[in-house]
Amino acid sequence: MGVDEQMQDEFGTMAAWTRQAVSDLGPDHAIPAACRGSGRPSGLDWILTRLGPQPAGRLLDVGAGLGGPAAYAKMHTALRPVCVEPMRQAAAGAASLFGLPALVGDGARLPFASGSFRFAWSLGTLCTTDQKGVWLAELRRVLRPKGRLGLLVVMATSDSFDVPWGNAFPSEEELTWLLGAAGFMVLDAVWSDDLAPADATWQRLEDEVEVAVRDAHGADARYATVKEQERNLGELLESGRVRGRLLVAGGA
Ligand SMILES: C[S@@+](CC[C@H](N)C(=O)[O-])C[C@H]1O[C@@H](n2cnc3c(N)ncnc32)[C@H](O)[C@@H]1O
């Protein structure tokens, strides 16, 4: 199976299955289930409070998935998120679950004029591409000179391990260099595992959607592929070989 098909299973088919489960279980399940990668409120709050004092205006979300983080931002701030996501089912889910503007598009070729946004974020995405420099240059281009960028990046802390398909974890040095080359300066950063875990309610809602998806699709080979991928990443996180890093950057 090619990486494209595996990406389709993980971020397209799984998004469609999750959307269906949320429709069955109720709208309170939507945001926890649709934060795939960015995980928990503490990380989203950490970025949102560093975008500026009471940020308002449009927030570009690149690789927005099903739109959980964008919906969280819309609910908790005056920001108006705009989602870009290559997987049709995920973009359609963000539009139907949360009423978010969601374009099918690619982080390497953002469909916006230069200087269109004051704020952008990209969560759990840079670590899935080898085109990090191109993505960051695109983010720099569509942000205004004083715009702010939030990132969640899964980073490699040691260099000798098998990287699960579809991932390209940067080291801290590499990411700092890439940000600088694209014209960004890191203003603040934290390891995501140093922040609070999701509370019991969030966790329960997320788990209920997982169970519903498993009950409906557990026998599907695509389900097994995605779960294996999640297990591999989980083991790398557990062992500390990779860690989530949250960053807020501004113009250099
Ligand atoms: C780990 S998920 C994170 C989703 C979302 N940001 C979140 O935190 O819930 C990575 C996302 O990056 C998207 N992605 C993959 N290739 C991309 C590309 N070329 N441009 C933009 N996004 C991409 C995937 O489809 C997927 O939705």
d(C-alpha 149, C-alpha 48), whole Å: 10
User: Is any atom of ligand 1 closer than 6 Å to the C-beta of 183?
Assistant: no
Beta-strand ranges (E) seen in 87-138 are: 102-104, 117-123
- Residues whose CB is less than 8 angstroms from the CB of residue 197 and which lie 6 or more positions away in sequence, other chains included: 40, 42, 203
Mutation test residue for ligand 1: of 5, 11, 206, 242, the one with most atoms within 8 Å of CB: 11
With 0-12 CB in 10 A as exposed, 13-18 as middle and 19+ as buried, what is 75? Answer: exposed
CA separation for the pair 186, 245 (Å, rounded): 12
Q: What is the rounded CA–CA span in Å between residue 194 and residue 2?
A: 35
- Which atom belonging to ligand 1 lies closest to the Cα atom of 122? 6
pLDDT reported for residue 2: 58
Ligand 1 atom 8, closest CA? 38
| 125 Cα–ligand 1 center, Å | 5
Taking only the tens place, the pLDDT of each residue in 46-80 is 999 999 888 889 999 999 999 999 999 999 999 99
pLDDT at residue 15 greater than cutoff 60? yes
Q: How much is the average pLDDT of 8-28? A: 96
**pLDDT given at position 7:** 85
pLDDT at site 3: 55
State if residue 35 touches ligand 1 by the CB under 6 angstroms criterion. Answer: yes
List of residues 6+ apart from 220 with CB closer than 8 A: none
Question: In this predicted structure, what is the pLDDT of residue 142?
Answer: 98
pLDDT at 159: 66
Tell me the average pLDDT across 211-226.
96
Ligand 1 proximity of 166 Cβ (cutoff 6 Å)? no
The CATH number assigned to the domain holding 98 equals 3.40.50.150
Q: Of all atoms in ligand 1, which is nearest to the CA of residue 90?
A: 27
What digits encode the pLDDT tens for the residues 149-205? Answer: 999 999 998 766 667 766 788 888 999 999 999 999 999 999 999 999 999 999 999
Q: Which domain holds residue 76?
A: 3-251
Confidence of residue 39 (pLDDT cuts 50, 70, 90): confident
Region 197-218 average pLDDT: 96
Q: Atom 23 (ligand 1): residue with closest C-alpha?
A: 63
Ligand 1 binding pocket includes 154 (Cβ within 6 Å) = no
Q: How far apart are CA 83 and CA 104, in angstroms?
A: 8
Is residue 110 lining ligand 1, measured as CB closer than 6 Å? no
pLDDT at 53: 81
Please give the angle made by the CA atoms of 238, 244 and 247, to the nearest 5 degrees.
165
Instruction: Tell me how far apart the alpha carbons of residues 84 and 87 are, in angstroms, rounded to a whole number.
Output: 9
Among 17, 22, 128, which is best to mutate for testing ligand 1, by the most ligand atoms less than 8 A from CB? 128
In short, whether 125's Cβ falls inside 6 Å of ligand 1 is yes
Give which of 55, 251, 230 is closest to 154, Cα–Cα. 230
Average pLDDT, stretch 95-119? Answer: 97
Count of structural domains within the chain: 1
**Are 6 and 166 a contacting pair, CB within 8 Å?**
yes
